[in-house]
Amino acid sequence: MTQRLQLTPPAAPLPLGTGAPTPGIALAGDPAEAASRFGLESPLPDGFVEILGATGVEVDVTPAVLAEHSRDWWPIGLVWATEGQVPALAGAVARPTDVDGVVAVVRACATHGVALTVTGGRSGVLGASVPLLGGVALDMCGLAGISAVDATSGIVSVLPGTFGDVFEDDLRRSHHLTVGHWPQSMALSTVGGWVACRGAGQYSTRYGKIEDLVVGLDVVLADGTLIHTGGAPRAAHGPDLTQLFVGSEGTLGIIVGVHLRARPLPPAEGRAAYSFTTFDAALAAMRRTVQRGATPAVLRLYDATEADRGFGTGDVALLLALDEGDPAIVAATLGVLDEEAIEQGATAADVALVERWMQRRNNVAELEDLVGKGFVVDTMEISAPWSVLGDLARNVVEALQGVDGTLVASTHQSHSYLDGGCLYFTFAGGVEPAERTAYHARAWEVATRTVLEGGGSLSHHHGVGIGRAPFMDQALGGGFAVLQAIKSALDPTGLLNPGGLGLGPVPRETDVAPTGDARG
Ligand SMILES: Cc1cc2nc3c(=O)[nH]c(=O)nc-3n(C[C@H](O)[C@H](O)[C@H](O)COP(=O)(O)OP(=O)(O)OC[C@H]3O[C@@H](n4cnc5c(N)ncnc54)[C@H](O)[C@@H]3O)c2cc1C
């Protein structure tokens, strides 16, 4: 059976997490003894911890807490964790619980020239929340919860440290609304982190990425000023300042309030699955579907390697689709997809494969397991216009396969738009332990150059962090100077997230601290 339509509301798809950061992999050895990989930290000025404490905000300088707070899910950072290292070490963790607390910490850091790095769930996969120059890690998880709902307009205001699963659960139960943003890291990440990284949920073909869902932001700037952006639909009073902060990864301001579009809970759901003899034929079916105006919430195409690994489907490309919403729209959407899939020579696949994907889609344990066994595993998501997607998919997989040490490289297409989509590459390498960082750097270099030269973007939803910072110049061209000028105007002393987005020092991941062991 290819399709299934269900005219009852889809089941709430959540097991709830703890609503707190989840470390990607245990730090080897005593966390209190963890070493800084890059060793670029400056010590805190004398008496600064007391000054910070006098603001009334909770401050923690326990070595083990500092170490845990100084890393995220950057896959090469997970490898370093197995060697007892973190990328960099914060000098103090500050935990405000309200906007006044955020402002007080920012002002203290600005007055004393102390770097400040914003952290949410620390589920980022490129080191974006790593305090590269030490200083204060500003933990936003204490600003949590839904603060207001305008049910008539469908606007929900939420504090930035709210974890995704807790947010969506509360929104569904208390207000019968959904934002429809479902990143795989739902239980690991915060709403502020989604906005700061320009993230994408797995249902983005219907609901949009986070930049489509944000109607306004409250932001504390580097001098402690609180500003509000957005607020009214499609305003034409100059450039959109909300979008300046969406994707700014903590480098331009601290997001202290997020206002998002929400919709009534979907009354119906439909699913479909097809196999194709070629990836290109499936891409054509997806393109023609969305260009006819049908936007199934989920439209995921796996190349034969991934399809067989995940679903045991053999040597075919596998397309899984799911839509939710008004029954008439769901039926019409899946009808259009069916016509286009058949037109491109698809055959029916078992629709139960969609359920298999649903059951496993938030499972993040595999990565920890493989890294623990000594493999280097990473993913790389990019976007590109339809006209080059097929070639990019092939060329990047081939480029990764050509890197010495690669065991497997594959791709899937995970988000579709009118003009193109997102390709999500996965690769794994097996090399000697001492060679893991060099292998990882080589794979990223080769794959990123192939993407940029082939007409793709540097990132689709994971962002830039430290890992992709060396490529920002090439990716943005002359636009990078504009970004640097904006940074200088908003944060002239480089207080916020030094090094993020390539704004500030840009270490290569193969760089190491001169002593090999720097506690911040
Ligand atoms: C297993 C796994 C699956 C993932 N799947 C997805 C996915 O499907 N879709 C997706 O988009 N991403 C995904 N990610 C990446 C990651 O979860 C997202 O980038 C997420 O948005 C990060 O949120 P966070 O709260 O963890 O932020 P952090 O990692 O703590 O921070 C990320 C960046 O945001 C900044 N930041 C955080 N909060 C604020 C704030 N309040 N104000 C200003 N800046 C802030 C930080 O300074 C940093 O630069 C995945 C990660 C993992 C580990």
Q: What is the pLDDT of residues 459-493, one digit of tens each?
A: 999 999 999 999 999 999 999 999 999 999 999 99
Question: Does residue 314 fall inside a structural domain?
Answer: yes
- Cα–Cα distance measured from residue 510 to residue 520, given in angstroms and rounded to the nearest whole number: 19
How far apart are alpha carbons 512 and 520 in whole angstroms? 14
| Backbone angles phi and psi of 394, in degrees to 5 | -65, -50
Q: Is the CB of 121 under 6 A from ligand 1?
A: yes
Among 360, 378, 401, which residue terminates a domain?
360
CA distances from 443 to 11, 379, 399 (A): 40, 11, 8
Backbone conformation region of residue 219, classed left if phi is above 0, alpha if psi is from -120 to 50, else beta? beta
Q: Is ligand 1 within 6 A of the CB of residue 247?
A: no
Q: Is 189 in the pocket of ligand 1 (CB under 6 A)?
A: yes
Amino acid at the residue 406:
T
SS3 per-residue string spanning 281-294: HHHHHHHHHHHCCC
**Percent of the residues in the chain that have a pLDDT greater than 70, as a whole number:** 97
Q: Is 253 flagged in the annotation as binding?
A: yes
**Helix H or strand E encompassing 219:** strand 214-220
Once rounded to an integer, what is the mean pLDDT over residues 136-148?
98
**410 part of a folded domain:** no
pLDDT in the model for residue 3 = 74
pLDDT per residue over 288-335, tens digit each? Answer: 999 999 999 999 999 999 999 999 999 999 999 999 999 999 999 999
pLDDT at 363: 79
Residue by residue, DSSP assigns 450-508 as HHHHTT--S-SSS--TTTTGGGHHHHHTTHHHHHHHHHHHH-TT--BSTTGGG-S----
The answer to whether 424 is a known catalytic residue is yes
Which residues does residue 420 pair with via DSSP β-bridges, in sequence order? Answer: 385
The active-site residue, picked from 203, 274, 417, 424, is: 424
- Phi, psi dihedral angles at 517 (to 5 degrees): -155, 95
- Give Cα separations from 479 to 461, 482, 486 (angstroms): 19, 5, 11
**Co-location of 330 and 238 in the same domain:** no
Domain shared by 354 and 279, yes or no = yes
Are 204 and 154 in the same domain? yes
User: Is 126 within 8 Å of 462 (Cβ atoms)?
Assistant: yes
Q: Whose CA is nearest to atom 16 of ligand 1?
A: 124
Closest CA to 426 of 8, 75, 183, 138: 75
Poorest-pLDDT segment among 144-148, 198-202, 371-375: 371-375
CATH code (residue 307): 3.30.70.3450
Q: What spacing in Å lies between the alpha carbon of 333 and ligand 1's midpoint? A: 31
Gap from CA of 271 to ligand 1 centroid (Å):
29
Cβ atoms < 10 Å from Cβ of 486: 15
Q: Decide if 276 is inside a domain.
A: yes
Q: How far apart are CA 508 and CA 506, in angstroms?
A: 7
Rounded Cα distance between 377 and 309, Å, is: 15
Q: How far apart are CA 308 and CA 302, in angstroms?
A: 9
CA proximity to 21, closest of 201, 194, 190: 190
CA distance readout (Å), 320 to 16, 202, 300: 25, 12, 5
Instruction: Give the number of domains in the chain.
Output: 3
Q: Which residue's C-alpha comes closest to atom 3 of ligand 1?
A: 185
Ligand 1 atom with least separation from CA of 364 = 1
Residues 255 and 281 placed together within one structural domain of the fold:
no
Q: Give the model confidence (pLDDT) of 38-55 as tens digits.
A: 999 999 999 999 999 999
Q: Are the beta carbons of 262 and 156 closer than 8 angstroms?
A: yes
Q: CA 266: distance to chain centroid?
A: 25
Percent of the chain with pLDDT over 90: 92
Specify whether 237 is located in the same domain as 328.
no
Residue 365 domain-assigned (yes or no): no
CATH number of 215's domain: 3.30.465.10
Name the domain boundary from 322, 339, 360: 360
Once rounded to an integer, what is the mean pLDDT over residues 209-214? 98
Residue 56 lies in a domain: yes
| Distance in angstroms (rounded) separating the CA atoms of residues 484 and 352 | 49
Residue 364 has pLDDT above 80, yes or no: no
73-132 pLDDT, tens digit each: 999 999 999 999 999 999 999 999 999 999 999 999 999 999 999 999 999 999 999 999
Assess if residue 52 is contained within a domain: yes
Planar angle of CA 307, 309, 311, nearest 5 degrees? 55
Instruction: Indicate the Cα dihedral angle 215, 219, 221, 224, nearest 10°.
Output: 150
With a 6 Å cutoff on the Cβ, whether 184 touches ligand 1 is yes
pLDDT value at 344 more than 50? yes
Q: Are residues 153 and 96 in the same domain?
A: no
DSSP annotation of 518 reads B
pLDDT at 15: 76
Angstrom distances, CA of residue 65 to CA of 89, 90, 94, 161, 204: 10, 9, 11, 18, 35
Q: Which atom of ligand 1 is nearest to the CA of 161?
A: 41
Nearest residue to 495 via CA among 59, 114, 100 = 114
Is 329 within any annotated ligand binding site?
Answer: no
Q: Are residues 234 and 293 in the same domain?
A: no
ipTM score above 0.95: yes
Nearest to 322 by CA among 286, 351, 285: 351
- On whether residue 384 sits in a domain, the answer given is no
The tokens for 133 are 């120059």
The annotation status of 255 as a binding-site residue, yes or no, is yes
Checking if the pLDDT of 518 tops 60, the result is: no
φ and ψ at 50, to 5 degrees?
-65, -40
Domain boundary among 212, 229, 264: 264
- Give rounded-to-5 percent helix, strand, coil for the chain: 35, 25, 40
How far, in Å, CA of 12 to CA of 324, rounded? 12
On whether the CB atoms of residues 209 and 198 are closer than 8 A, the answer is yes
Rounded Cα distance, 131 and 129, in Å? 6
Shared domain for 96 and 80, answered yes or no, is yes
- The whole-angstrom separation of Cα 102 and Cα 224 is 8
Asked if 257 and 149 sit in the same domain, the reply is: yes
CA distance 209 to 61: 37
Mark whether 277 and 328 lie in a shared domain: yes
User: Do 73 and 116 fall into the same domain?
Assistant: yes
Q: Is 8 annotated as a binding residue?
A: no
- pLDDT for position 17: 87
**pLDDT grade for 520, boundaries at 50, 70 and 90:** very low
- Which residues fall within 8 angstroms of residue 485, CB to CB, at 6 or more apart? none
Asked, for residue 205, whether it belongs to a domain, the answer is yes
* Stretch 170-179: mean pLDDT: 95
Asked if residue 9 has pLDDT above 70, the reply is no
Quote the domain boundaries for residue 345.
3-12+266-360
Q: What is the mean pLDDT of the chain?
A: 95
Residue 509 sits in a domain whose CATH number is 3.30.43.10
Q: Please state the atom number of ligand 1 nearest to the C-alpha of residue 500.
A: 49
Whole-number CA gyration radius for the chain: 23
Out of 22, 167, 179, 197, mutate this one to test ligand 1's pocket (max ligand atoms within 8 Å of CB): namely 197
202 with 280, same domain: the answer is no
Q: Three-class SS of residue 383?
A: strand
pLDDT attached to residue 259: 98
Q: Does the annotation list 250 as a binding residue?
A: yes
For the CA of 124, the nearest atom of ligand 1: 29
CA–centroid distance, residue 182 to ligand 1 (Å): 13
